[in-house]
Structure 1
Amino acid sequence: MLETIKNIDIQNIVFGLFFAVTLGGALYVLFSKNVLFAAYGLLVSLLGVAGIFVFGGAEFVAAAQIMIYIGGILVLLIFGIMLSSQKTKDKDHLKIENSDIWLTILLVFLLSFLVIFLVSPLIFDTHNLKPEQHIKNMGFNLMTDSVLALELVGVLLLMALIGATYIAKKDE
């Protein structure tokens, strides 16, 4: 037992920590009764995923995860919740009920096993890759060859922002 503990290196501990943060945030979203607190749990889970990306050597994807999902979509979601909640005198105006929790848990496990089944046979050769060069090439390709896709994603995010503002406005 003591030899097993000595063989555990710091990389496994860091990965386990990021995994625990991600899973803890996701479970908090699942079992939360308040929609605003569920959004905070989603924030923790997304930060854990960004940490796993950094741990895996994908710094650009981690930065994109933080900027797009946390900085854009999650902040928009929280503002949408805050602006559209009907402020009544009781404190339960943001409460939600998970009607079929066991079906949700079963679905999560089935989808997890499906992802594991599809991803596990893949072999990634990352020994010859230089991260600085890939980020430079990705940025160059986004601004030259894939500029249409980049602009379409920007327009899609703008449409989501306009739609959330329209939903959140008060009817007059």
Structure 2
Amino acid sequence: MSTFSSLSLTQKSNNDNTFCRICYSFSSEDLIPMPCKCRSTIGHVHRRCLSRWIVAVRKNACEICHSVYDKNVVKVHSRNFKTMFCSFFFGPIPSLLRFSLCMMCFSYIGVFLCQKLSIIYEPFEEVMVDAGDIIERLSFLDAVIFVPSIFAYIHLAKMSFLNFQRFLSSLHNWWNQNESSNSNRFEIVL
């Protein structure tokens, strides 16, 4: 807020007998217009009083005119439980999970094909030389597909544990918020 606008606001508040609608003080220091649709004598508030009011009421809307506070004036930095919950389940974990599941599916398909080919070529002993070669190739392909899926699964387990630990930490911080941490959740900009 510029010096000129704060001076003009101070002069205006002294001339109009405006007061803070929360503390009912006629003190014009740090008096700002309400960031809602309220005007006239209830249209001003101290910045400090508004901060305390938002913390106490835990709403971002005016109780008189029911309009949401102007987002350019009151910037609320709240974290609710839903956003923390969604950030845990819709973060990088699903993409790693999809990759791991695809690798496991490919490895299981490879194992299934190896078993089926060994059953198909068992009765034909004269063709067994060719079948053994095919089975060796398929088992090598199965190993090539299966080994990275194991590492992907280990990485998935590690990342999900770390993400769950971070989620529990943020949930703990959210649960144990005290009055001083609540005051840092928003800022009043004018």
User: Which TM-score band (shorter chain)?
Assistant: under 0.3
* Structure with the bigger percentage of strand: 2
Determine which structure has greater relative contact order: mean sequence separation of CA pairs < 8 Å that are 6+ residues apart, divided by chain length.
2
- Structure with the bigger percentage of helix: 1
Larger radius of gyration: 2
